[in-house]
Structure 1
């Protein structure tokens, strides 16, 4: 039986089916391309054009193949599924060489909305994790009229940049080593020289129980060869600590996000029980950031790349919002 999202207030904590699936060998292809805002976005699309739309947004350091099983599952259930490469990943490109390469949260959120506009999509379920979960959360918070509902990993994802320098407990700081590394020019040089090595290490640390193989990793790692990958990633991690200036074109969006807006659409938050970078919680700390129906669930044995590790649970959450 599907789980009903709880009403606003004290969230329900539910453990659903664990992650046990071996990595799929499929590829999401062919890709489509469309000019959307400052980008020419490469994206995968599946399902009937008349179906309810689902925007599936990937994270760092991953790519669209995080949804290699989720996308066909949702398409088979009648959804129109859109899976874009984020700025700096895969075949997505900036349209103008002179455009800055920011990775700040407002830019990633604005990209998703620009893609929807370019494709003539009025409303959709926004679903993602990591950077993609942040883009989905920003879209739900700032454009609720465009959002049917939100599926997001790791709770409220909008960054509180004003308080970014407040230290966490030591055990929470250790998994964030890469964020501190990227503050240094040594970290920029390291990312440029070791894109695959850093990503593979993070995959292993963040999903300790996920048995991905070389072919699974390399299928995604090609996305890190994007010429803008290093600039976008470094800016993202420096901006969130307040040590890099934002792109002026996103200043108004950043101002609105600085208020940490409440998300007013039905939401299902999923946490991996074995997430090695963002530990699962009971969801209580961020409950006040949701004013509509909200459910919080822990997926046992899943790590940070939750849609690829537990695709059935992720797809079921999306369909629950569509059928509500």
Structure 2
């Protein structure tokens, strides 16, 4: 090109054709062949690469299908750990695979349910062992711990009721045995207190009768042994006062009538009868007050204000300790409150 543009006229091409040939030399046929070879190599390499990609995709799909089938087989055989592992492999290879996502979710839920069922069975078995050994405190503790973990668990609630009933029967039996020991020791006051405790624990008249009949017989013997009328009256009044302390108004009235039959003007008997009337009125008032608190507790429960329900029920227990309905209301509110908290945590 420098020759074609030289300032020396003798060095420049003589014609325009010569100038063009100097500026654009003719192409060599060998270069064309080289370019074609390069293009051919590129086309072949691209085709080979595409083939390899295609083969790799088929292999990956075979792995996905195989793992997915294995995971489903594991799920149906309840091997949830195996199902989860295979679903995770599929998801790593094909993140958008809907079947893998569905399998993983179902397996995780089933595994959680199976683990909870195992926990329930273990705790129930432990409680049953305690129950069979008549260790009711142990059984009660196991069941309440289970209900804290799984509120509303039906089997635990039913067994807790069995435990409470068996515990009450055990208490009644023990108390009646103590009452019998008091009778054997000729301690009539001790026997009456034990009988009152057994009745408060839920003993039926038929349960009380064997010891009660002995206590009544003992009382008659003590009265017969009294040397004079005043001694018998004093004994009757003392028994009446003991009965009044136990809120056994029928017993008090019997003793008052017996005193008045021997001394119609006995002022102590009249005072004792007035005390019975006052005690009856006081008891009626306390029962009305407790009924009011329990109605308020029920209203709070219907509004799902469980703290209010428990507070009202505890107020009722402060007036009449061991009131069955108040205790049951507290248990209901406590279980409902735990269930509500569990529902919130799940959401």
TM-score, scaled to structure 2: 0.21
Greater share of strand? 1
Q: Which has the higher contact order (CA 8 A, sep 6+)?
A: 1
Greater share of helix? 2
